[in-house]
Amino acid sequence: MAMETILRHGPCKRFTPIGRSFYFPPAPQNIHPLGGGLDIWFGYHQSTRLGQWKPLVNINLTATAFYHAGPVLQFIADFLQIDRGQLQQVGCLRDRDITRISRELKTMRIAVTHLLYRRKYRVIRLTHESANNKMFTITNPDGGSVQISVAQYFAQNYRALQYPHLPCIQVNPEQKGIFIPIEVCNLVEGQHCRKKLDEKQTAEMIKFTANPPKERFNKIKETIKSANFNQDPCVREFGMKVSNELLSLDARKIEAPTVRYSNERKVRPRDGSWDMRGNQYFRGADINAWVLLSFSNTRFCRYDALECFAKLLCKIASEQGISISLPASIDIIETRRPNVHQILTQVQKKFNANLVIVVVPGNDKAIYGEVKQAAETMLGLVTQCVKDNNVVKKCTPALISNLCQKINAKTGGVNNSLTPGETPAILRKPVIIIGADVTHPGPSVEIKPSIAACVGSLDAHPSRYAVTLSAQTNMNEKKEAIEIILNLKEMVLELLKAFYKHTRGRKPEKIIFYRDGVSEGQFHQVRAHEVKSIREACLTLSPDYQPGITFIVIQKRHHVRTKPEDEREGSGKMRNTPPGTVIDTTIVHPLNFDFFLYSHYGLQGMYILQWKWAVLSFYCLFKNPSSTFRRFH
């Protein structure tokens, strides 16, 4: 902690700190707009951690979205995706536009331009009244009170407004009732956007940040040099020195297991992927009746497009081993705001369908949520959603094949399995694999329950799962959501009972528990509470039931990046670290049992989805398959 503070002291004064990263504003010629009033700011992540033999500084390139500094008028135009000139029209902003803008600007800092000195405020909200109509009381020189509009006040004291028909911004302190016209407000530079980016913005972000390993590592070297730790007065005062050289270390590459399909057909994955053409699912599902339901605009997604989609789906699904016929019905819902629950209830009763494929409009995210809420939490109906654009413009065999894999798994089939000879010994006996995570609401959400979820396997493949959810409103003294799963005992007990029922009375001899979303600082807390809760769930099921428990924490956002020293040993056109690579020396914790794993192929730029696994508690040992050593940076 002390070393972290010392090394962060200098960058904190020079750059904009966000979490453990530092960002700097782009030069005017290097601004990369994301749309919606957002720009990309580049920077670097910096953290200090203990390695196996010595302390290490972890440096990685980062990028995030910041609000574009400048006139609030321009931000509103960008946010609503309209031309700024349209804001000159009276009635250009509807009530719902004002509500959206107000929600976006809440708590942001603005600077006003009508004063001779620089003054900053924090936004509370936008008014629904215009500057012409927003009235307040002022005191005359003779002591009397008079009502005056914001527009009149500015005309008398500063200059006449060009946009008096637009709302005002109310700013802190709220009790003073300060209302400022939008046109004299600028967004202050350096305000981080914490909300989730939409699909278009995400695509733009990936386009600008996906770099090949060699290019990324060269930029990281430049970043280390520019950080200039050894010239920092604070670092020198404490007698510390930081090497500018990257670490070299050994890694192992574990070979992928053979994948088994129907009729004992086997496929050996290469670089983390394989082609299933010519193979059928290990066990194909039986779909007795299904319905194709479209909520899309009929002018875009017409009946004939839906019919073509249904025919291709049936053809490919049958080739891959699913028992399926043409849909019992193809329905198009033309209601503007449909009652999704009512529609799905009617479909279920009328057709007794065990699958409903729902075509959702790409620009309406609410429909997807309503479909899943009604089908999965109220009706127990299996649904598969597909975007209308994929039905109309991207209805290819490859897309349908991927869709069929999801449909087969959801409707009771088994897509593939491991070959018996390669199945690990631990999986040859009854074992349940459980995955758990806690989802926390975003900072803009006022009602803040966290949702804990656990998913547990029910068969030996494993391909069948049970799920259990729990809402928790736990808060610490700082009003921050706590990562601990409070009701884990009850949730694990529910999964164990589901396993017991599915296997006709067999209890798992081992429990492998994968836990996401836990930082190193929470390891002790999680181990003390959650491992105990799992054990209590077992004893509740049966007083003498004490299976082996392996509790594994998985971390994604650790910023460790590697590349092969010899590019020829990389995979794909980017020459990334190949899937199956395991690192368990040098950069791992000196005491914890942890390792890094590249579990799949990186499609764009440098492989960034590298996983760190920390085994907190274990009562059984794993045998690794054959592996080979490689040298990595």
**Confidence at residue 480, expressed as pLDDT on a 0 to 100 scale:** 59
Closest CA to 242 of 24, 59, 19: 59
Which range in 77-91, 265-279, 616-630 is most confidently predicted, on average pLDDT?
A: 77-91
Residues 6+ apart with CB under 8 A from 334: 298
ω into residue 173 within 30 of 0, thus cis? yes
Which SS3 state, helix, strand or coil, does residue 67 take?
A: strand
420 burial level (CB within 10 Å; 0-12, 13-18, 19+): exposed
- Asked if the model's pLDDT at residue 619 lies above 80, the reply is no
pLDDT above 70 (res 265): yes
| Arithmetic mean of pLDDT, 151-163 | 95
Q: Given this model, what pLDDT does residue 617 score?
A: 52
Sequence-ordered list of residues with C-beta below 8 angstroms from that of 136, at least 6 positions apart, any chain: 147, 148, 150, 153, 177, 179
**Which of 48-52, 140-144, 418-422, 494-498 has the lowest average pLDDT?**
140-144
Predicted confidence at residue 424, as pLDDT, reads 82
Give the per-residue pLDDT at 239: 92
The amino acid that residue 124 corresponds to is I
Within 8 A by CB and 6+ apart from 108, the residues are 67, 122, 123, 187, 188, 191
Rounded CA-CA distance 65/191 in Å is 9
Q: Is the pLDDT of residue 631 over 60?
A: no
Q: What stretch of H or E contains 304?
A: helix 303-319
Any idea which residue has 């028992």 for tokens? 323
Q: What is the mean pLDDT of the chain?
A: 88
Strand boundaries in 281-389, DSSP class E: 290-294, 329-332, 355-360, 383-387
Residue 244 to residues 47, 214, 228, 333, 625: CA-CA distances in angstroms?
A: 15, 17, 9, 62, 36
Eight-state DSSP code of residue 375 = I
Is pLDDT at 618 greater than 60 in this prediction?
no
Contact between residue 351 and residue 326 where contact means Cβ atoms under 8 Å apart: no
Query: pLDDT class for 262, splitting at 50, 70, 90?
Result: very high
Nearest residue to 386 (alpha-carbon basis) of 293, 299, 317: 293
Contact (Cβ atoms closer than 8 angstroms) between residue 606 and residue 212: yes
| Residue of higher predicted confidence among 365 and 431 | 431
Ranges of beta strands (E only) in 509-625 are: 510-516, 548-555, 581-583, 593-597, 611-618
Which of 39-48, 335-344, 401-410 has the least mean pLDDT?
335-344
- The CA distance from 118 to 121, in Å, is 10
pLDDT above 70 covers what percent of the chain? Answer: 93
What is 560-592 written as a DSSP string?
A: ----BSSGGGSBTTTTBPPTTEEE-SSSS-SSS
Predicted confidence (pLDDT) per residue in 70-125, tens digit: 999 999 999 999 999 999 999 899 999 999 999 999 999 999 999 999 999 999 99
Task: Return d(Cα 557, Cα 609) in angstroms, integer.
Answer: 8
pLDDT digits 0-9 by tens, 561-605: 888 888 888 887 788 888 889 999 999 988 888 899 988 876 655
**Rounded Cα gap, residues 486 and 484, in angstroms:** 6
Q: Kindly report, residue by residue over 469-513, the tens digit of the pLDDT.
A: 998 876 655 555 678 899 999 999 999 999 999 999 899 999 999
Residue 412 has pLDDT above 50, yes or no: yes
Q: Residues in the chain, how many?
A: 633
pLDDT of amino acid 16: 93
CA gyration radius, the chain: 29
Name the residue with tokens 């946010």. Answer: 79
Distances (CA, A) of 476 to 1, 263, 291, 436, 473: 22, 55, 47, 21, 10
CA distance 554 to 614: 6
Helices (H) and strands (E) in the chain, counts: 15, 30
pLDDT computed for residue 616 by the predictor: 60
Could you give the percent of the chain with pLDDT greater than 90?
62
- The answer, yes or no, to whether residue 180 has pLDDT greater than 60, is yes
Position 609 scores a pLDDT of 40
Q: How far is CA 383 from CA 368, 406, 498, 547, in A?
A: 10, 10, 22, 35
Picking from 60, 105, 52, 115, the residue whose alpha carbon sits closest to that of residue 560 is 60
